[in-house]
Structure 1
């Protein structure tokens, strides 16, 4: 269990202290064959159970923007290098390969341009990693899954993650090539508790039928001899290594037909060359069918198994060459980067979460996450906060209990009736300051409204927040500081809200909102999901949904856009210098104010835990709740 949750899950004691299963070592003076960029480290990562020597070797690439120490300097170079993200991408290789094979260094470099961390490793028995566990058995798929589990364990250990990466990162994606694809998918099948949002299959084999045919073709006595000799990359050179029969069969016998059971929230991208000469291209159809509805295919014209061109390739894209062949690895990197972009990840999260299974009454019933579309209600950003899985025995947040939205004052009569009768909303918590609410409109039902002004009753609408924190006009990365100020100034109101939740009965629901349904609403939504056990990654993705939810909030958008050149005066006396340094325009400043980026919430959560240590501490010592109160919240608002 994440150390940021204490021992209060449904009143049952859970020890949050865990013995570290993994360790890591940064090699200060790597061997001469290891070539590192300025943002890279050569590391060994060891699992106490799986590894006997150094463990797995890897090259960790840090976001290139980290070469600048201050946020100010990073923002000045943001057009070139995106700011650091809480996201790690793991790159794994195939047979007879290593951490620098094919596209891996190119992709790692591109990822770090965009603020990702990238870790490319050698599986045991290859590259610079320790030998396979048992030379008589060889490098099996199960052994490969253990090496992947080692990385997952490192990432999930908050202390180690902070030490090595400087942030509590999330393993956002695994990119695997060839045989590594089988290891990646088998790992996810074996470890359903390890949710990884994105899996990328590059030239992956679907089943092992072709492996035996290939082996018998090149080693006719393979079965009789019990194996074959193979040249493998080891420690900067090439070694002739005996590949036992069992190593080959481990890939053949891997239950690929069961890969479809992998977490349904996981998205899969497949990337193959049209000139694939190793893997039957029927694998493309097999994976597309297996992961139907969550699979994306990229075919690279002219590319082979390792993503190089044929000798006769005309190089129509004018790509760099490698050993005289067109290097399509650059295209692979482009396609992967596009797939992992913030915009595409947000869209996939929206699509996967737009419906919620009603586990409370009828599991066959599907509920909409967005039950009041703007065309019907004239309310923007209205969504249900239920359905998300938690750390507490995988229980889910109940749906139909909490809704969040933007200003609700323009709600249509039909939608208001639906809100109360069908959604069961008994109270609408208005987080705006009284004057702000009066100016921008109130819900036409006073009995339903409970005014709960955050920030000691002072307005923190987007434009007012910017006047107090001009950094918000420059970058969305300034939001966490503003959010911490609002949080500390709203303790009494937050206490009232959660006390109300403690006294709700089954079938009742609440809605809470501010002006945009973004900042104050986002803070309260974060606290709600966090106390119920939702992880930081999901909370931040949920917060980011406001990017889509506000597209219909034309009244607010027009109001902020109309300020135009007034934004320059809000920057203060040195506005000309700031505009020049950060390439600011009124449009860009307006977009920053309205933004709800994943990283804004992740950094706010980091600051929250730096201040309060855990969500339970916050409830115990700031809100003055009891352990029984916290247990009651979780008992009432979580479901199987």
Structure 2
């Protein structure tokens, strides 16, 4: 869906409740306003930033990673429920823990609640549609200039965690906007149950036009009028339409076994609706708000809050594990392992189309299938990437020709490296030696290896050198595409040794020019972590270097490694890694330097505008 980010503003203010609810050192009280939708101060929010930002240098952040995770480009949005507010229940604890894991976390008040501006139409109240507008504002904010000005970077809305009625708003919003992770905490499935609840609470609510509810507004508990239309907007929503949510979104549902508000049948309803992309967790022995009952013996030794066992701590621990990088990577793999054509819905392909056990080729996968920001799709079945394929089995070589229709291989290694490492037989192989065939100045060489060894977050330093020294061969690769040589009957493979760094840079340029967003490009790069587990030769060669890493770093190798807090074992792990953030940081640096992928192709590779558009056409459907 097309959005307008130019009307978003952010105002950082002093916490109006500092005496009663003080903020943590890494938190800010802000108002986010969309000039199109908001008429007052906008949405009140508390932003929790990764505590690792307190360290000024990259080296300090790496050395202290055991305490605070490296800052990510990902935002987690926390949503409250009916007549609630941003600091309710488990939200402050969850925000604190997630920020220490490197996430930016935003918890907001919907309009008409907490410290946010009033509902647009008081007679209608807080409708689901108004909630969706508020969520759209946050979605636009994370990639806006306002966000870049506030945080120094654009973010990706990676996860929404919603409670109770907030779940309905979250799912309705996600019908139009892609979010990788949606977490449903005690959301209602049968929306009409809300109408029954309102009738039990106030039998005359429809005749009276609504009812009063006590809630926190501007720091004071007060009775607030809930118009009839507000309840109807949530109580008449067709939840079956949530099935329209992007198929690449993964949903986690968390319910309590003894919830007196939401029937446990809701868990089954969402499990069935999102079959194949849904995880269910049942929290024992607590109520709708994740508090224990009076007779709870606290067998799990959870903390006590307000005189009750706080199962919110149990929930927070579970969510932290669910959102750790390894589990995030596995979910991306699961949701993208099959490529479904946007043109022919019966055309379904396996991204990992040459399993290692069959082919003896590591990290072999289709580059296509990803959806662009304009709604197109990168053509599947025309380009593949992999590690060194020189030991491919005869059956794999035959399959590559007879089923994948590969007729050319681009080898990105230096000539000597390719000769020593071996070259795939029976194919036309064109050598495109990246990094100027490794003919670098001593200063470039030292900077390159420091970028690769000291931390994966330092990869952009090395990748920038590789990119600058590879422009002629990169142009040659895209000339081949421009000439119309690549299609489903004339597919290509490109590779280096691991299919990670040089291959990753070229993969970024392909996907970036096609219009794929930075988040997806970085996740695709991270897939190499799974693809390289079978590359035993490379792993043994890298890990066997030992103290040679110090020598390669230069005359002050020991001192440099000490400043970063890394040992030879850790340097080996860094070289073999392919973290999401490494690519995301490189894309940031790339866009800062070149402006856009299109400008890079125009100004650095010297293609014309017409040629760039032709390459895009060749890459997408």
Q: Give the alignment's TM-score, normalised by structure 1.
A: 0.93
**Residue in 2 aligned with 1:452?**
432
Determine the C-alpha separation between the residues in 1 that align with 2:268 and 2:81.
21
Task: Give 1:207-286 correspondences, 5 Å limit.
Answer: 207-286=190-269
Determine the C-alpha separation between the residues in 1 that align with 2:220 and 2:384.
59
CA offsets 1:550-594 (integer angstroms, 9 cap, x no match): 011011111112222333444555555556565534332211110
Higher relative contact order (CA 8 A, sep 6+): 1
Contact 2:408 2:491 in 1 (8 A): yes
Q: CA deviation at 1:296?
A: 0.7
1:75 equivalent in alignment to 2:62: yes
1:397 aligned residue (356, 378, 387): 378
Contact 2:448 2:461 in 1 (8 A): no
Determine the C-alpha separation between the residues in 2 that align with 1:135 and 1:624.
57
Q: CA deviation at 1:459?
A: 7.6
Determine the C-alpha separation between the residues in 2 that align with 1:19 and 1:201.
27
Give 3-state SS (helix, strand or coil) of 1:469's partner: helix
Contact 2:80 2:109 in 1 (8 A): yes
Contact 1:476 1:595 in 2 (8 A): yes
Q: CA deviation at 1:622?
A: 0.8
1:345 equivalent in alignment to 2:321: no
Q: 1:272 to 1:29 in 2, by over 3 A?
A: closer
Q: CA deviation at 1:100?
A: 0.4
**Residue in 1 aligned with 2:345?**
363
Task: Give 1:89-488 correspondences, 5 Å limit.
Answer: 89-157=76-144, 159-189=145-175, 191=176, 194-358=177-341, 363-392=345-374, 394-445=375-426, 448-458=428-438, 468-488=448-468
Contact 1:21 1:153 in 2 (8 A): no
**Residue in 2 aligned with 1:622?**
604
Q: Which moved more, 1:350-359 or 1:596-605?
A: 350-359
Determine the C-alpha separation between the residues in 2 that align with 1:442 and 1:163.
48
In structure 2, stretches of 5+ residues that fail to align are: none
Q: CA deviation at 1:525?
A: 0.5
Give 3-state SS (helix, strand or coil) of 1:268's partner: strand
CA offsets 1:307-337 (integer angstroms, 9 cap, x no match): 1111111111211111110111111111111
**Residue in 2 aligned with 1:12?**
none
Q: CA deviation at 1:156?
A: 2.9
Determine the C-alpha separation between the residues in 2 that align with 1:571 and 1:450.
32
Report the RMSD for the aligned CA atoms in angstroms.
2.0
Determine the C-alpha separation between the residues in 1 that align with 2:605 and 2:478.
9
Task: Give 1:565-580 correspondences, 5 Å limit.
Answer: 565-572=547-554
**Residue in 2 aligned with 1:51?**
38
Contact 1:467 1:570 in 2 (8 A): no
Contact 2:256 2:264 in 1 (8 A): no
Give 3-state SS (helix, strand or coil) of 2:81's partner: coil
Q: CA deviation at 1:19?
A: 6.9
**Residue in 2 aligned with 1:13?**
none
Contact 2:340 2:369 in 1 (8 A): yes
Q: 1:613 to 1:505 in 2, by over 3 A?
A: closer
Give 3-state SS (helix, strand or coil) of 2:533's partner: helix
Aligned pair count reads 615
Contact 1:466 1:472 in 2 (8 A): no
Q: CA deviation at 1:478?
A: 0.7
Q: CA deviation at 1:365?
A: 2.9
Contact 2:192 2:236 in 1 (8 A): no
Determine the C-alpha separation between the residues in 1 that align with 2:565 and 2:412.
34
**Residue in 2 aligned with 1:593?**
575
Q: Which moved more, 1:267-276 or 1:541-550?
A: 267-276
CA offsets 1:476-499 (integer angstroms, 9 cap, x no match): 001011000000000000000000
